[in-house]
Every structure is written in C-alpha cells, then in structure tokens.
C-alpha cells in the first residue's frame, strides 16, 4: 500500500498551515483548560478543508487534514465532520457530536445548541439537532481541553440514516486515531521546546540520555499512530480502523505521563500550554469504550 503524500495533498496541507499560522501559538497569558476559535473554524469550513472526503478527495486526505489541525493548541471539531458526516449527509449542521447509544450520559465534546448529535447504536444511526433544552453545561466538572457539555435527554424523534453502525464506528475510529496522532505530535513538539531550553546542572535537559531515549520512544509511538490512521483510511478495513484507534489510545496513555514529568513542576500547572494537547488526549482515550473495546473490535474484524 502506497501511503506517500500526493502533490494535491501536499498543497492542501500547505494551505492549511498558511491559514492556521496565526493560531499556531497560544495567546499570551491564556491559562484556560480549553482554547477554541470560532474564527479559525469558520475559515476552515468556508475554504472547504473539512469537506475533502465529501469532495471525493478520499478518507486518507481527510486524515491528513484532521491530523494537521489537531497539532494546533485550539480544539476544533474536524474529525467527525471530515470522516463521518459524508457517510450521513454532507449538509448536516456542524459541529458533529458522536456518541454511542448506551453511553449518551457521558460528556460530549463540542456539544452546544445547534450542534448535530449522532447516536450510534445496534439499531442503526440516528441524529438530531441539539437545542438548549437538551444540554447542561459541564463547567468545571470535566477537566478536558475541549468544550464539553452533557445531554440531559435524547429526543423521541430523531432522523435515521441509511448507513450501518459498524461503518460509522469504523470512520469514528479512524478520526480518533488521526486526531490523536496530531495531538501527540503537538504535545511532543511542545515538550521538546521546553526541555531544549530548560537547563539543569548547567546543561539543557534535552542533552540527558535518559530523556532522549524516552522522547525517541514517544516519537516512534506518535509515528505509528499517524501511519496506522492513514492505512486504515486508505484500506477502508474495519480491522485496520480498530487497530489504529487501539494504538492511538495505548500511545496516549503511555506518553502523556512522560511529557508532564519532563516539565517538572511546570507540568503540574496551566502556565505551560502542554495540557492543551494532553488533556484532549485524555478525553480520547475513553471514547468508543476505550482500549478494551478497540481490542475486541480488532479481534472480531480480524478473526471473527
């Protein structure tokens, strides 16, 4: 399988980098748990970067877009729009909030009035537009670097979509892996910058072999998540999607502790922006039932 980036894909990524350049740094003195930008979101939507799969540029191109955007310190709803919305209806209102039918009481990323809530269950895939009466703000109850809220009720009337739950779950897993790959890359870059500048015993922390070995391992894990997400998008195979999501959640669990430890006391504060990536990773590790469910799904797809 050839996973090399094409010239068209390279041009799309270059255009995204140019558009997102003003948003690549954390605003000075911002110490919140989450960063969002309606302006950036609107620019991406207006320029069609979130619709590349719907425009027949393929799921692999959508993965590249999602991964690149996840590197930013700003939380953006890109994965569900880029990879799931084309399977349902490319005109569904954004943001999209994905949830499994049996766990709808869990906090939802990007949930707000006007969002499309997609409910995935054994009986099929349904959706509805969230209103204020369906939502309770999560406030400080949920310390993840996403805007999050709770559903208070599922409406009795929802729109049914002519697509199987398994197909949607596979696309959801690919999106999760793509987003995790970008978050891992962003967190890794942030950590490298810190340990390259912070000195201990008269030398930068990055020169100590023990840290270099663990950072190298983090880079290998990050690369693996990226390539598995790209492979799953290219193959369209449910087993590849489950393995990509499994590796993404495993990698996130393994490296986020290291990254915060390398920052020392600074890693326990909001003064450093590292949490803008790692706290999002923590939210992703529990999606779709967590690592155990991804392993079961992979086993079922491969040997079932």
In this predicted structure, what is the pLDDT of residue 226?
Answer: 97
Q: Is the pLDDT of residue 52 over 70?
A: yes
Tell me the per-residue pLDDT of 61-112, one tens digit each, with 9 for 90 and over: 999 999 999 999 999 999 999 999 999 999 999 999 999 998 888 899 999 9
Question: Within 13 Å, how many C-alpha atoms sit on residue 159's CB side?
Answer: 13
- Show the beta-strand stretches assigned E in the chain: 96-100, 108-109, 116-121, 124-129, 135-137, 148-151, 159-161, 199-200, 203-204
DSSP 28: T
Q: Which residues contact 67 (CB under 8 A, 6 or more apart)?
A: 178, 179, 181, 182, 185, 226, 229
Arithmetic mean of pLDDT over the chain: 91
Tell me the per-residue pLDDT of 194-225, one tens digit each, with 9 for 90 and over: 888 776 787 887 677 777 898 899 999 999 99
Q: Is the pLDDT of residue 29 over 70?
A: no
> What CATH homologous superfamily does 165-303 map to?
Butyryl-CoA Dehydrogenase, subunit A, domain 3 (1.20.140.10)
Q: In which band, very low, low, confident or very high, does the pLDDT at 143 lie, cut at 50, 70 and 90?
A: confident
Residue of 15, 32, 16, 17 whose CA lies nearest to 276:
32
Per the model's pLDDT, the better-predicted residue between 193 and 142 turns out to be 193
In this predicted structure, what is the pLDDT of residue 278?
Answer: 94
In this predicted structure, what is the pLDDT of residue 30?
Answer: 60
Are 98 and 112 spatial neighbours (Cβ–Cβ below 8 Å)?
Answer: no
Q: Is the pLDDT of residue 25 over 90?
A: no
In this predicted structure, what is the pLDDT of residue 61?
Answer: 95
What average pLDDT score do residues 281-301 get? Answer: 94
What average pLDDT score do residues 164-175 get? Answer: 97
Tell me the per-residue pLDDT of 232-276, one tens digit each, with 9 for 90 and over: 999 999 999 999 999 999 999 999 989 998 888 777 777 788 999
Say how many residues make up the chain: 304
In this predicted structure, what is the pLDDT of residue 270?
Answer: 76
Least confident among 26-30, 139-143, 279-283: 26-30
Give me the residue spans of the domains in the chain: 165-303
Per the model's pLDDT, the better-predicted residue between 28 and 112 turns out to be 112
Q: Is the pLDDT of residue 123 over 90?
A: no
Q: Is the pLDDT of residue 147 over 90?
A: yes
């Amino acid at each position: 399988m050839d996973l090399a980036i094409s010239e068209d894909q390279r041009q799309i990524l270059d255009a995204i980098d140019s558009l997102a350049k003003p948003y690549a740094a954390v605003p000075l003195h911002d110490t919140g748990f989450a960063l969002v930008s309606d302006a950036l979101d609107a620019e991406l939507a207006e320029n069609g970067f979130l619709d590349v799969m719907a425009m027949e540029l393929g799921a692999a191109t959508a993965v590249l877009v999602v991964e690149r955007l996840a590197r930013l310190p700003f939380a953006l709803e890109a994965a569900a729009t880029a990879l799931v919305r084309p399977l349902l209806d490319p005109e569904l209102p954004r943001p999209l909030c994905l949830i499994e039918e049996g766990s709808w009481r869990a906090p939802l990323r990007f949930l707000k009035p006007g969002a499309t809530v997609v409910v995935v269950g054994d009986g099929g895939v349904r959706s509805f537009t969230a209103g204020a009466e369906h939502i309770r703000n999560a406030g400080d109850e949920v310390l993840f670097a996403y805007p999050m809220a709770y559903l208070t009720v599922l409406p009795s009337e929802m729109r049914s979509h002519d697509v199987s739950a398994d197909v949607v779950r596979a696309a959801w897993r690919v999106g999760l892996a793509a987003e995790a790959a970008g978050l891992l890359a962003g967190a890794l870059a942030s950590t490298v910058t810190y340990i390259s500048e912070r000195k201990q015993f008269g030398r930068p922390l990055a020169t100590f072999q023990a840290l270099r070995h663990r950072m190298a391992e983090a880079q290998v894990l990050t690369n693996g998540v990226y390539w598995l997400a790209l492979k799953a998008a290219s193959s369209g195979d449910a087993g590849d999607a489950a393995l990509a999501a499994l590796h993404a959640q495993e990698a996130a669990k393994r490296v986020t502790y290291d990254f915060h430890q390398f920052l020392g006391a600074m890693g326990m504060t909001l003064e450093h922006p590292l949490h803008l990536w790692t706290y999002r990773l923590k939210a992703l590790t529990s999606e779709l039932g967590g690592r155990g469910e991804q392993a079961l799904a992979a086993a079922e797809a491969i040997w079932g």
